[in-house]
Amino acid sequence: MTENKEKNNSQGLRVLSLFDGISCGRVALDRANISVSEYNAFEIEENAIKISRYNYPDIKRCGDVYSTDFKEFDGVDLLMGGSPCQFWSKAKCNKTAKLKREIDTDGEGWKLFQKFVEAKNNTNPKYFLYENNYGMADEIQDAISEELGIQPIMIDSQLLSAQRRKRLYWTNIQNITLPDDKGLLVKDVICDDPDLVKYFDDRIRNTMIKCENYIKYDLGGKGHYSQQDRLYFLDKKAPTVPRCRTETKFNVWLGGEKYKKTCPLEIERLQTLPDNYTEFGMDESSNVKSMPKTRRFEAIGNGWTVDVIAHILSFMKLMHLFVV
């Protein structure tokens, strides 16, 4: 279980978290040594809720963002959230994407963002933080900035983790500076697991091409060289953790003809989560079960890079009673 799990301070922040996922925001508050008296979370994905509940049983589960006008949370200290980014992601620009990227304010992505705006307008938070994909269309970015009355800052997670992950952050927290680069690389997150070690076959040997950050190859033999057919170097950064198919999209070259598949623990480390944070889930009846590996990958990929959020939140100039 995560740090500060049993703590329930009588003094601290009253927090409202939208699209809460596995509660990376709560982990970030703990890591920034900011005390929390009340944490209200809106989330509908069942597996994410189970993981969050196991780590933070004290969180108030509020359900679907479409089920409320948020007025009951008036006067919260902190409103934060990052609505699902897949609607605005550049990944929707490829030819095989079933749904294309939204580039204006008529789509589902904008509707979800409007729930954050509604929460902000109806709760009058002292501080707010909204996060989304750096690859969104300029029209969307400008419209968000107009709605929130502030320009975003861009922070690449590679400054604080071993993955490249550019994200935009809109916040009224003042005087935020970029974090110092920790210099973390793939080798810093990899664990020793012989069961995940694989060896080249002829399909890799005959098609492999060495690039700056990885070796690419063509398993299908059709010249596609897809993202999942890559082996990343230990002394480089990992790619952005995706929300699906993580174990096929991020493989690591170990030297010679050896490579390895990644495990959930390594992906947790790329997102700077506590080790094994997603290993267990708890249902509404307090039954604890191991989480399937695929669901762990998905939940981690949908989350925030914790240390980036902790860095931003550390700039809140609140009363000292909110700091542990």
**Secondary structure of 11-38 in the HEC alphabet?**
CCEEEEEECCCCCHHHHHHHHCCECEEE
Mean pLDDT of 8-12: 62
Range 226-253 average pLDDT: 84
Residue 216 predicted with pLDDT over 80? yes
87 pLDDT more than 90: no
**DSSP tally for the chain: helices H, then strands E:** 9, 15
Q: What is the mean pLDDT of residues 299-321?
A: 86
80-94, 97-111, 235-249, 309-323: which is most confident? 235-249
Of all residues in the chain, the percent with pLDDT exceeding 90 is 78
Phi, psi of 121 (to 5 degrees): -70, -35
Q: How far separated are the first and last CA of the chain, in Å rounded?
A: 19
Residue 109 identity (one-letter amino acid)? G
pLDDT band at 50 (very low <50, low <70, confident <90, very high): very high
Q: State yes or no: pLDDT of 88 exceeds 80.
A: no
257-281 pLDDT, tens digit per residue, is: 999 999 999 999 999 999 999 999 9
Q: How confident is the model at residue 228 (pLDDT cuts 50, 70, 90)?
A: confident
Angle value at C-alpha 11, between 25 and 50, nearest 5 degrees: 35
| CB 61, CB 17: distance < 8 Å | no
**CA distance to 27, 46, 242, per residue, from 292 (Å):** 22, 13, 17
Q: List residues bridging with 16 in a β-sheet.
A: 40, 79
Q: What is the pLDDT, as a whole number, of residue 151?
A: 97
- Which stretches of 33-132 are DSSP H helices? 46-55, 108-123
User: What mean pLDDT do residues 178-206 have?
Assistant: 95
Domains within the chain, CATH numbers bracketed: 13-182+275-322 (3.40.50.150), 186-268 (3.90.120.10)
Provide the mean pLDDT of the chain: 90
Q: CB atoms < 10 A from the CB of 111, how many?
A: 14
pLDDT of residue 106: 81
